[in-house]
Every structure is written in C-alpha cells, then in structure tokens.
Amino acid sequence: ASQTQQPRGALLVVEGGDRCGKTSQCTRLLDALHARGIDARAVKFPDRTSETGKLIDLYLKGAKDVDDHAVHLLFSANRWESMKHIRALLEQGTTLVVDRYAFSGVAYSAAKGLDLEWCKQPDRGLLRPDLVLFLDLDPIAAARRAGYGEERYERVDMQQRVRSNFMSLADGSWKILDASRTVDEIAADVSAAAIAAVEAARSTPLCSDLWC
C-alpha cells in the first residue's frame, strides 16, 4: 500500500536593502505561521556560522578585503552548502522563512560594478522560492534608521543601485511591499501573502531551477 506523502513546506524569501525592516518582519512572519499551526523555521543568508560564513562576516565588517568576484562566489557557496538541509526540511513539510537569498547576492555584487548576468550564474540551479517578499524602502529613509552605516554596503549611493538591481530581478513570484509603513501594516501583508504561498506549495513540486 502506498504511504500518504506529507505535503511539502514552502520556501519563502524575504528580501530588501539594508535596514528595510527585514529581520523584524521575518520574526513576525514566523510567529504568524506558528499561530496558525504551520511548521515553520527561520533561515538566514549569509549563514555567518559556516567556514565560508566566517570569512564573509570578516569581509562585511571591513576586517578583511576580498576581491569582488571571489566574495560573490563565497556568498553563493554559502547558499549551496545549505541546499541539502533546506531541501530535506521542505520535503518533511517544514516551511522556511529565508532572510536574504540569491537575489541579494546578485543585487549587491552588481551594484559594485560586476556584470549582472555573470552574477546570476553561480546560483543557477538553487531551489526556486515559492514567494519573494520584497520590502521596498527609499534608501534615504533607510539611512535614517538606527545602526545604519555600520557595515560595508550601508551607503546611500550603493543602496540606490542595489534597489534598482532588485527591481530588475523581480518576476511573478515577487510581492513588492511598501516598507515605509508601520511594522503592523507590513506584517499583515507579509503574512497574508505567505499563507497563500504555503497553501499553493502543497500542490506544486519543489524545483531546483532558479534562473534556468
């Protein structure tokens, strides 16, 4: 007799420029999913705990200089090394709320002057997200937020280029949200879109075809 298969979890990605409120929205979203009895976990890229992550952390804090191409590949490797674990979690029915993904990889590296198409290649074949929630905030407003400027990329001119690169990557799986609103207003939109995506993912196969 065939066993009933567990419906898979959804791969939900939250993206945006620096200080757009992404991390608080990820926390709020996890709480909202748990409140509905949905098995969900947080994932964060870069994962600063792995070997590649430790190097990335030093780079972001300005403690180490790394060639732009090399650091781009490190960020991508940092995602690839988690793919097996991420796939296993999704297949066992766990929904993942992912704070940054390959879209950040491309948007930031291309903002430093690397060719956008070149930047997409190393992440080709990663798991395709079911939903990308993009928290859109004017970089000038972001710069007024607490803690801005502590890390390497937190400069308004850089963030303007990052924002326009993100926009050029958006497709039908993206939901672009105005992140200048209150935390509660944004959270309501985020959870509504996420819950719909969790439902839809139950009957859609998981695909390792990002940008294919």
Residues that bind ligand TMP (CB under 6 A): 18, 45-46, 60, 75, 100, 104-105, 108, 151, 153
Least distance between ligand TMP and beta carbon 172 (Å) = 22
Rounded Cα–Cα distance for residues 21 and 17 (Å): 9
DSSP-derived secondary structure letter, 39: -
Strands annotated E in 17-64: 40-44
| Contact predicate 19/104, CB 8 Å | no
- In whole angstroms, the minimum distance from the beta carbon of 141 to ligand TMP comes to 17
Q: How far is the CB of 14 from ligand TMP (least distance, A)?
A: 10
Supply the minimum distance, in Å, between the C-beta of residue 3 and ligand TMP. 37
Closer residue to ligand TMP in complex, CB, 45/134: 45
CA-closest candidate to residue 25, choices 193, 186, 176: 186
**Measured distance CA(152)–CA(170) in Å, rounded:** 25
CA distance 28 to 183: 9
φ, ψ dihedrals at 67, nearest 5°: -55, 140
Please say which residue, 99 or 198, places its beta carbon nearer to ligand TMP. Answer: 99
Nearer to ligand TMP, 95 or 166 (CB): 166
Q: Nearer Cβ to ligand TMP, position 76 or 198?
A: 76
CB of 6 to ligand TMP, least distance (A): 29
Q: CB nearer to ligand TMP: give 60 or 206.
A: 60
